[in-house]
Amino acid sequence: MTFSNNCDGGFFSKKGYLNIALTSKCPNSCIYCVAKKLRETEEENIDIEKIADTVLSFSKRFQCVVIEGGEPLLFPEKVKVLIDFIRPYIKEIYLFTSLPDIEYKLLLNIINKIDGCNISIGSFYTFLAAQVMQTNEKLIVRRNLTLAKLVKDCPDKFRVSFLLCKDLLDTKIQIENEINAIYKFGIKHIKIGEVSHQPELFVGIKNIWPELKLGDPCYSGCSTYIDKLPNLNLNNNKILIKRSCWMVEPSYKPTNKEYIKLTIRNLKDRIIPRTNYKVIYSDGSYANSW
């Protein structure tokens, strides 16, 4: 599995990638989801051939593809066909999912075709995950059973991720319990993020671990790896910390240095615009940003 420190959370090539927004539909209704309004009006129109054509049109420039949603595994057969189309031409393919109910044999077949998978869990604990994701606890139990099978069948091909969230996951002991439970379950790779675009739910990493020397990010997507935490054994692994953005989270207090850094970045963008990724939508159309 490839890890790198980049804007989409340390999972993909620094040289650039194609981000396939396969669908905005999702069986969950996570309290911090920014795509809920899209799901209220979106008509499903997934054109795999057009998506694949768009991917291949950029394949000389981008050799990394990220398939996400919403929940792409609501359409597992389409995901499988898409991967089969592009696999001969793309070096790295990754998938973002929350593990909805699908046939395990089909799921494993998909996982075996890709290079890595990020599983959004809300929380490792059933009751808390159901609260965060606003779904049925029985679905979380089934998800964890599926997760257990994945740990056994492909232990190093995926990671789990969750977000800090006010009143649900916002204390050091809660986060440390999550980390310990995940490691004991046999999962090696963890990503912990801050909520973006919803300041009422925002909890900063520095609120959890003030002893960590983390500067405020000056734009969305700042990621940091940590390999040491007080009173916590990381089992020789690194945890990826995905920061939010002080431009959308008023709880951040940017410094003059951060403003200067952002100004310099914006000046560079005017001279040589950043083109290190593109977003491909379900109808095969694409954009340079979300």
Q: What pLDDT, in 10s, does the model give residues 175-210? A: 999 999 999 998 988 999 999 888 899 998 988 998
Strands 64-68 and 17-21: parallel
Q: How confident is the model at residue 98 (pLDDT cuts 50, 70, 90)?
A: very high
CATH of the domain at 47: 3.20.20.70
Q: DSSP letter string over the chain? A: -----STTTS-S-TT-EEEEE--S--S---TT-S-HHHHHHPPP---HHHHHHHHHHTTTT--EEEEESS-GGGSHHHHHHHHHHHTTT-SEEEEEE---S--HHHHHHHHHHSSEEEEE-S-SSHHHHHHHHTS-HHHHHHHHHHHHHHHHH-TTSEEEEEE-BTTTB-SHHHHHHHHHHHHHHT---EEEE---S-GGG---HHHH-TTS--PPPSSTT-EEEE--BTTB--TT--EEEE---TTT-TT----HHHHHHHHHHHHHHHHS---SEEEEETTS-EES--
Confirm whether 3 is domain-assigned: no
pLDDT given for residue 262 in this prediction: 78
pLDDT given for residue 29 in this prediction: 92
- Distance (Å, rounded) from C-alpha 198 to C-alpha 248? 8
For 236, the token pair is: 């020789």
pLDDT(285) > 90: yes
pLDDT given for residue 123 in this prediction: 97
Confirm whether 236 is domain-assigned: yes
pLDDT given for residue 36 in this prediction: 67
- Distance (Å, rounded) from C-alpha 3 to C-alpha 11? 5
pLDDT digits (tens, 9 = 90+) for 31-62: 998 776 555 555 568 999 999 999 999 999 89
Q: How confident is the model at residue 1 (pLDDT cuts 50, 70, 90)?
A: very low
Of the candidates 55, 73, 74, 79, the one whose C-alpha atom is nearest the C-alpha of residue 65 is 55
pLDDT given for residue 247 in this prediction: 72
pLDDT digits (tens, 9 = 90+) for 5-26: 444 444 545 567 899 999 989 9
pLDDT given for residue 244 in this prediction: 84
pLDDT(3) > 60: no
Please give the residue that has the higher pLDDT: either 159 or 231.
159
Confirm whether 2 is domain-assigned: no
Confirm whether 189 is domain-assigned: yes
CB distance 100 to 147 below 8 Å: no
% of the chain surpassing 90 pLDDT? 53
- Distance (Å, rounded) from C-alpha 7 to C-alpha 11? 9
pLDDT(104) > 90: yes
- Distance (Å, rounded) from C-alpha 143 to C-alpha 158? 14
Confirm whether 156 is domain-assigned: yes
Domain count, the chain: 1
By residue range, what is the domain housing residue 122? Answer: 17-287
pLDDT(217) > 80: no
Q: 2-16, 147-161, 222-236: which has the minimum mean pLDDT?
A: 2-16
What is this structure's pTM? 0.89
Confirm whether 9 is domain-assigned: no
Confirm whether 186 is domain-assigned: yes
- Distance (Å, rounded) from C-alpha 247 to C-alpha 259? 10
CB distance 122 to 164 below 8 Å: no
Mean pLDDT of the chain: 86
Q: How confident is the model at residue 171 (pLDDT cuts 50, 70, 90)?
A: very high
Handedness of CA 4, 10, 15, 21 (dihedral sign): positive
